[in-house]
Amino acid sequence: MAAAGHRQKASDVDQARRWRKLVFDVQTLKCEVSALTVDETRAMAADINARWAALQRQWEASGDLHALLGGLIFCQRQLPEWLFKGLMQTLQQRLNNPHATRFLAVRYAHDVLGMTMDESSDWASDNVTDPSARGGRDIMMKSYQKIRHHVGEDDRIRRRPTRRRGR
């Protein structure tokens, strides 16, 4: 008997937790709120779990701060407001690193546009639009060198083979 009463309470809790959806009829311009079906709730939960797992894999594989930011946003409602805001500000400051912006601009000019390192630094100094990352050719190269030490071997620019003259 106690088990049946316990099941009833769990069922009441499940009903109270059931998510709701907003349905808008464009033709009649009426809006209704209704409970999600069990299948819709399961589908949403599966989608959330899949996204959560993808963010976790991305963070664990590469330390990608954007994955960490996505995970933080998923947990926003579960954290105190002061903690969420502080962590968001800290991550946004890390993501808006002017040295990283300069590094990526130089690397883009070299790898995608096919420029030499000198040309890449010049191009980056002319084309970086972020006010905090703007600077001359020397600043671009110094930032590139600073970030280069922190990235993996695959992300570094390698010297191009020189062509032999006369062939």
User: For position 161, what pLDDT does the model report?
Assistant: 59
Q: What does the block give as tokens for 8?
A: 């009833």
| Spatial separation of the C-alpha atoms in residues 167 and 163, rounded to whole Å | 8
- Give the pLDDT confidence score for residue 112 in this predicted structure: 81
pLDDT of residue 126: 94
Bridge partners for 30 per DSSP: 25
Q: What is the pTM of this model?
A: 0.45
pLDDT of residue 157: 61
What per-residue confidence (pLDDT) applies to 166?
60
What pLDDT is recorded for position 139?
Answer: 93
**What pLDDT is attached to residue 125?**
93
Contact assessment for residue 65 and residue 88, using Cβ atoms and an 8 Å cutoff: no
- Long-range own/partner contacts, residues 9-14 (CB < 8 A, 24 or more apart): none
pLDDT in tens, 109-132: 888 888 988 999 999 999 988 788
Res 21: pLDDT: 78
Question: Is 101 buried (19+), middle (13-18) or exposed (0-12) by CB count in 10 A?
Answer: buried
Residue 141 pLDDT: 92
Q: What is the mean pLDDT for each group of 10 consecutive residues in the chain (167 residues)?
A: 44 55 82 85 89 88 81 87 89 81 87 88 90 90 85 59 60
Which residues lie across from 34 on neighbouring strands? 21
